[in-house]
Structure 1
Amino acid sequence: MGKKIVIADDEPITIMDISEILTEEGYNVVAEVSDGFDAIEACRQHKPDLALLDIKMPLLSGIKAARIIKEEELAETIVFLTAYSNKDFISQAKEVGIMGYLVKPVDKASLLPVIELAIAKGEEMVDIKENIKVLKSKLEKRKLISRAKGILMDSEGLSEEAAYNKIRKLSMDKRCSMKEIAHVIIINNNCLGN
């Protein structure tokens, strides 16, 4: 099954044309909606690889919908579809963090490269965000263990290596992570008022 795409446009003929092109190319169009509110709901339900949003739609504009979709991480990437190409819309698209901008009418030759590049960039962004989470977690673990080592060094007169080894041994004995043992040492130290 191809990449999942949500299409939001208030012109049914535009949705039909784009959906047909994407389906023929192996993409999985999981939702076709006509306003920004429904676009958000479709993204919540399907978590698509790409949301293709018209800028001007009833109820909630594509720009406002895109902000919510980005904030809540409901789609990997977003491309704007619009009949308007003025600088104000383009600057708003940049501000929201959109990966592509298509001006109607759209044909296969202009649609597919933008969609493919936007999906590739969206995947890169997901990888980057995941790497950042992993690095933050590792940094937090190091900080906790370092702090716990310092507490053991002060309270038990241990060397840094001996304090580290004690944390590691407790971790193995209790069958939990060194981070969890470090956290307990820090909490215990705070409760004792040291």
Structure 2
Amino acid sequence: MLVTESARRVVIAEDEALIRLDLKEMLQEDGYEVVGEAGDGETAVRLAAELKPDLVILDVKMPVLDGISAAERISADRIAPVVILTAFSQRELVQRATDAGAMAYLVKPFTKTDLAPAIEMAVSRYTEMRALEAEVAGLQDRLETRKVVERAKGLLQQANGWSEPDAFRWIQKTSMDRRLSMRAVAEAVVAGATGGGAGQDEPAAG
């Protein structure tokens, strides 16, 4: 498989120089761009943070910081998907790699034909995971906004004797007039009420 459209940028980490060279050549032959190389996990984490690659390939056993620990740090910071290289395929090791955030793994010795499918699977899983995280964050944000707006409406009704629609219109109008989000306006109302803030102007009819 040749990756032609904006080649994926890859950081590779393998403490054995010959294996690292073979891996680099396989990737380049498949159209990937190797933007960083490391011989230990600590350097791999630093390169990933600096270069922001599309993918990081980590060997499990490396000095300074092993591949599992490096994968955990890279995944926690949501830098890039991780593929783990290992000479073993024990269930426990695979589970540890998965728990650390690895999106795919390859068992040595592997061939060039094994490489691209593992990479594309990792990128696909990572993209799907980030999309789901964004969706959940968006839902959480909307829920929090709704809660604070409801609270602000209640405070405005109580303080000014307004109806619920009037209180909502005031928040909406203030949001537009001041170029703030409705959540920011609502939070200011709540903060003002708890801090003894002044009342609001009567909302326009309609």
TM-score by length of 1: 0.92
Could you tell me how far apart the structure 2 residues matched to 1:174 and 1:93 are?
A: 49
- Between 1:163-172 and 1:51-60, the stretch displaced more is 163-172
Aligned-partner Cα distance in 2 for 1:97–1:44: 16
Structure 1: tracts of 5 or more residues without a match: none
* CA distance in 1: counterparts of 2:144 and 2:33, whole angstroms: 39
State the match for 1:116 in structure 2.
Answer: 120
- CA distance in 2 between counterparts of 1:53 and 1:170 reads 52
CA distance in structure 2 between the aligned counterparts of 1:132 and 1:3, rounded to whole angstroms: 27
1:40 equivalent in structure 2: 45
From 130, 135, 139, the equivalent of 2:134 is 130
CA shift for structure 1 position 78: 0.9
Which of these residues, 98, 101, 113, is aligned with residue 97 of structure 1? 101
Q: Deviations over 1:107-161 (max 9, x none)?
A: 1111111111111111111222222222222222212211110111111222211
* Secondary structure of 1:29's aligned partner: strand
Are the aligned partners of 2:12 and 2:37 in contact in 1 as well (CA < 8 Å)? yes
State the alpha-carbon separation in 1 of the partners of residues 105 and 126 from structure 2. 14
Native 8 Å contact 1:49 1:122 kept in 2:
no
Aligned pairs for 1:42-81 within 5 A: 42-75=47-80, 77-81=81-85
Equivalent pair of 2:75/2:102 in contact (CA under 8 Å): no
Q: Which has the higher helix share?
A: 1
Match of 1:159 in 2: 163
Aligned-pair CA distance for 1:104 = 0.8
Inter-partner Cα distance in structure 1 for 2:176 and 2:58: 52
TM-score, normalised to structure 2, is 0.87
Counterpart among 121, 139, 149 of residue 145 in structure 1: 149
Out of 175, 179, 189, the position equivalent to 1:175 is 179
Q: CA RMSD in A?
A: 1.5
C-alpha contact 2:45 2:73 (8 A) present in aligned 1: yes
How many angstroms apart in 1 are the aligned matches of 2:15 and 2:158? 67
Give the drift of 1:52. Answer: 0.7
Cα distance in 2 between the residues matched to 1:177 and 1:92:
43
Q: Percent identity?
A: 41
Deviation larger for 170-179 or 183-192: 170-179
For 1:12 and 1:65, locate their aligned partners in 2 and report how far apart those are by CA, in whole Å. 19
8 Å CA contact 1:80–1:98 kept in 2: the answer is yes
Matches of 1:113 and 1:17, distance apart in 2: 17
- Paired with 1:181 and 1:70, the residues of 2 have a C-alpha distance of 35
